[in-house]
């Protein structure tokens, strides 16, 4: 187990070309659990959140519900686009989402504010599929079941020295932190290549193999180029169809790893997804709560761009059959 975690921490450090002093930490619970831990140990008094989809809303809600934190600053944008963070002297953490999986919007990650303000980035569906400069973030955290083609239930975080300092200082204060949510304990255990409680070995195994495979192929740049190629295929295809269009209007905000494609009302997307599913092409459904007539397609680096081309042909076939 320790060898597995050791190789994984090493592999992630290499994949993300971690700046000096950054550490790889991990723990059970996934990104959702990391939000609760972040409220406990990374946000000191008040956070700012960019809210532009289901996942970014959830973290903002967790912060708002924390009785020991002040009401967070929220900056919202219409779903299908992203807002920009604003420097504010009244917050100690900026909470960004690299890729909003529910809407298919990606945003650039850039540091802002002062050195004592942390930049916390939910990279759950971005990490391993989008280029990033880790020096721009203090906590870049994710679960392994998206770009890393593994299973859920685990979180990983790339932490800056400032983030680690914050974690230890807040947990030294009189705020009560439940042991299973303690980031300090995660950092201390990760340094020993272990976790606070037992993780699933299969999850770590699959994640490690994906990380090592991507490194062997050319690293993050290779993986990002592969998803970009897949997404160019999908967005280009949608723009050439009278009955389909990318949901995200601004091309620069369209995610290379999760494409959302609106269909015209005459073609029910749910029906298309159902037929695709009956024929072995699964998980093309839109995000339920978004409530749009839409296909949502995962274009993570483990997906072969040729399969993506084949999928667009399959959708063409189904739509033609349904319209005929």
Ligand X SMILES: *Cc1c(COP(=O)(O)O)cnc(C)c1O
Binding site for ligand X (CB under 6 A): 30-32, 55, 97, 101, 122, 124-125, 143, 146, 152
Q: Which residue is nearest to ligand X (CB)?
A: 30
Contacts 24+ apart (CB under 8 A), 208-216: 208/4, 208/7, 208/8, 208/11, 210/128, 210/144, 210/148, 210/149, 210/150, 210/302, 211/8, 211/11, 211/12, 211/15, 211/128, 211/148, 212/7, 212/11, 214/15, 214/128, 214/301, 215/11, 215/14, 215/15
- Shortest distance in whole angstroms from residue 293 CB to ligand X: 22
Closest CB to ligand X among residues 129, 237: 129
CA gap 124, 132 in Å, rounded: 13
Q: In the complex, what is the shortest distance from the CB of residue 38 to ligand X, in angstroms, rounded to a whole number?
A: 12
Nearer to ligand X, 125 or 185 (CB): 125
Nearer to ligand X, 156 or 167 (CB): 156
Give the nearest distance from C-beta 242 to ligand X in angstroms: 31
Q: Which is nearer to ligand X, 41 or 97 (CB)?
A: 97
Reading the block at residue 88, the tokens are 């504010």
Tell me the CA distances in angstroms from 176 to 40, 62, 71, 190, 230, one per residue in order: 8, 16, 19, 22, 46
Q: Which is nearer to ligand X, 69 or 127 (CB)?
A: 127
For residue 227, how many other CB atoms are within 10 A of its CB? 27
Residue 24 beta carbon to ligand X: minimum distance, rounded to whole angstroms? 17
Decide whether 28 or 245 has the Cβ nearer to ligand X.
28
Residue 212: name the closest of 1, 2, 9 by CA.
9
What's the order of all strands across the beta sheet hosting 118-122? 23-28, 154-159, 139-142, 118-122, 93-97, 47-51, 73-76
Beta-sheet pairing, 73-76 with 244-246: unpaired
Residue among 32 and 314 whose Cβ is closer to ligand X: 32
Contact between 154 and 200 under an 8 Å Cβ cutoff? The reply is yes
CB of 154 to ligand X, least distance (A): 8
Cβ proximity to ligand X: between 207 and 244 the closer is 207
Closest CA to 319 of 238, 257, 219, 225: 238
Q: Least CB distance from residue 211 to ligand X, whole Å?
A: 17
Q: Minimum CB separation from ligand X for residue 122, in Å?
A: 5
Q: How far is the CB of 318 from ligand X (least distance, A)?
A: 27
Q: What is the distance between the alpha carbons of residues 88 and 92, in angstroms, rounded to a whole number?
A: 9
């Amino acid at each position: 187990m320790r060898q597995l975690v050791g190789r994984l921490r090493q592999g992630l450090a290499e994949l993300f070309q971690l700046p000096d002093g950054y550490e790889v930490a991990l723990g059970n619970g996934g990104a959702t659990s990391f939000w609760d831990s972040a409220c406990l140990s990374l946000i000191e008094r008040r956070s700012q959140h960019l809210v532009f989809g289901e996942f970014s809303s959830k973290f903002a809600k967790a912060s708002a519900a924390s009785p020991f934190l002040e009401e967070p600053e929220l900056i919202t944008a219409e779903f299908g686009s992203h807002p920009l963070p604003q420097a504010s002297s009244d917050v100690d953490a900026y909470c960004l989402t690299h890729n909003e999986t529910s809407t298919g919007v990606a945003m650039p990650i850039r540091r802002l504010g002062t050195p004592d303000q942390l930049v916390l980035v939910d990279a759950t569906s971005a990490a391993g599929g989008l280029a990033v400069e880790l020096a721009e973030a203090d906590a870049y955290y994710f679960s392994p079941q998206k770009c890393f083609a593994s299973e859920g239930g685990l979180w990983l975080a790339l932490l800056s020295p400032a983030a680690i300092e914050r974690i230890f200082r807040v947990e030294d204060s009189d705020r009560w932190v439940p042991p299973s949510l303690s980031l300090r304990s995660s950092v201390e255990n990760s340094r020993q290549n272990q976790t606070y409680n037992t993780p699933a070995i299969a999850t770590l195994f699959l994640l490690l193999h994906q990380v090592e495979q991507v490194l062997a192929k050319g690293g993050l740049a290779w993986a990002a180029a592969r998803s970009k190629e897949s997404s160019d295929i999908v967005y280009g295809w949608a723009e050439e169809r009278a009955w389909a269009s990318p949901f995200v209007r601004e091309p620069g905000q369209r995610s290379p790893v999760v494409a959302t494609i609106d269909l015209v009302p005459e073609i029910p997307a749910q029906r298309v997804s159902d037929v695709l599913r009956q024929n072995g092409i699964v998980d093309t459904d839109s995000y339920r709560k978004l409530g749009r007539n839409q296909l949502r397609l995962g274009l993570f680096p483990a997906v072969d761009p040729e399969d993506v081309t084949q999928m667009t042909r399959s959708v063409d076939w189904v739509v033609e059959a349904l319209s005929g």
